[in-house]
Structure 1
């Protein structure tokens, strides 16, 4: 799983940026209005996204540790967790393509935790310095997201806290280019990525990739 997930995590982050643009575009737009006037937004965007990616990596480490506890059970087939990752990748593709929205149910479960921590982000605004954007981004990194949850299953499947941490770190870095670009030209980027052909092309690629992962897990069962 390791040799595939590390490279693929970056690609999934890049491809899943279509979803990020739709879900987080409004957040990024609002973020730019909280910045001090006459200052470059880049340091603030880098700090915010750095915090967001760090939260992904921490979640990946936790998920990987939980996966190690599951995989250590002798009665569990070692292909179960890779199969779970493949299935969630299929669900992600169907979700982004707006063909099946089962992942929204999982997002609702994450919403309970999100409502507990989200108010803490208000302590850091308005931003007096880019460092304030770092913890703000760390909190917003826990925003319920089907894309993140689907990729987290790879961390679980890795059966390692270290690999889970690195997998989600690379995934987060994959989402970084589009998030920075949206900070500079949010309306233009969102308009392009909202195109139905773009979304469904990406969704098809992710679905096929998930089918391949699922087939391999079943074949090696």
Structure 2
């Protein structure tokens, strides 16, 4: 399906708001990387986080490609429209998660847990992480750990129904977590606390909710001549089967 600007912006907002969540859930992993190369903490932190974002991006590309394959096999306008609506629903559920609700609706929670059980043994084969490529690989493996927030975004990536769109969604999400995850020091903690202020968090989650509702309604709103130009500028195109 066409990649809408509201979807990418929602992924960016989710990454910014989710950075503190990532720090809480994965702080022990993040702070353990500098011990792998004493005296090079900053470069190690970059390698680990670039690997993590690469892992997100690869997962998004694979999920989006799988969704696209299903859509091409079906070649149905009704299914294509259903996928667009499903993207909007996934964004609405993501907004609820950012507000502390809706975690039980993660579409990929069970498959993600099963995949991680298969990938987990790879960790010991990458130790000791005494080379840059090993740290990048460990970071990529870190990105594939089951996490409710990243799995919610992966659902959106899957529903993009193409590899590039899925990869972009996950890459934007991963990059947006860097302000908190890269430092995990004074500046990162300060940014995280600022983003977690209730009013700001509610406003940004409301933006994700609005992006979801717009994504659901866009195919019908495009029929309104006065809105056609604005929605086209946002990337909201009429959906057609391929």
Q: Same fold judged by TM-score > 0.5?
A: yes
Q: Is the 8 A contact 1:92 1:146 kept in 2?
A: no
Following the alignment from structure 1 to structure 2, what is the Cα–Cα distance between the partners of residues 84 and 149? Answer: 15
Structure 2, unaligned stretches of length 5 or more? 223-238
Stretch of structure 1 that moved more, 203-212 or 185-194: 185-194
Shift, 1:57, TM fit: 1.4
User: What is the match of residue 62 of structure 1?
Assistant: 62
User: What is the match of residue 35 of structure 1?
Assistant: 36
Matched, 1:52 2:52: yes
The residue matched to 2:155 in structure 1 has which SS? helix
The residue matched to 1:77 in structure 2 has which SS? helix
Shift, 1:187, TM fit: 8.4
Shift, 1:3, TM fit: 4.1
Following the alignment from structure 2 to structure 1, what is the Cα–Cα distance between the partners of residues 63 and 10? Answer: 18
Structure 1, unaligned stretches of length 5 or more? none
Shift, 1:140, TM fit: 1.2
Stretch of structure 1 that moved more, 197-206 or 77-86: 197-206
Shift, 1:127, TM fit: 3.0
CA separation of 1:146/1:217 partners in 2, compared to 1, >3 Å: closer, same or farther? farther
Mapping for residues 1-221 of structure 1, pairs under 5 Å: 1-4=2-5, 5-32=7-34, 34-37=35-38, 39-72=39-72, 73-75=74-76, 76-103=78-105, 106-182=108-184, 184-185=185-186, 188-189=189-190, 192=193, 195=196, 197=198, 199-216=201-218
Shift, 1:133, TM fit: 0.9
What do you get for the CA RMSD once the two structures are aligned?
3.0
Q: If the length of structure 2 is used for normalisation, what is the TM-score?
A: 0.74
* Cα deviation 1:96-152 (Å, max 9, x = unaligned): 221232145743441121122123213333432333211101111111123222222
Following the alignment from structure 2 to structure 1, what is the Cα–Cα distance between the partners of residues 197 and 12? Answer: 23
Following the alignment from structure 1 to structure 2, what is the Cα–Cα distance between the partners of residues 181 and 2? Answer: 31
The residue matched to 1:89 in structure 2 has which SS? helix
* Cα deviation 1:145-195 (Å, max 9, x = unaligned): 23222222333333322332233223322222221122x349835972695
Stretch of structure 1 that moved more, 76-85 or 7-16: 7-16
Q: If the length of structure 1 is used for normalisation, what is the TM-score?
A: 0.80
CA separation of 1:114/1:174 partners in 2, compared to 1, >3 Å: closer, same or farther? same
**Larger Rg: 1 or 2?**
2
Q: Is the 8 A contact 1:94 1:203 kept in 2?
A: yes
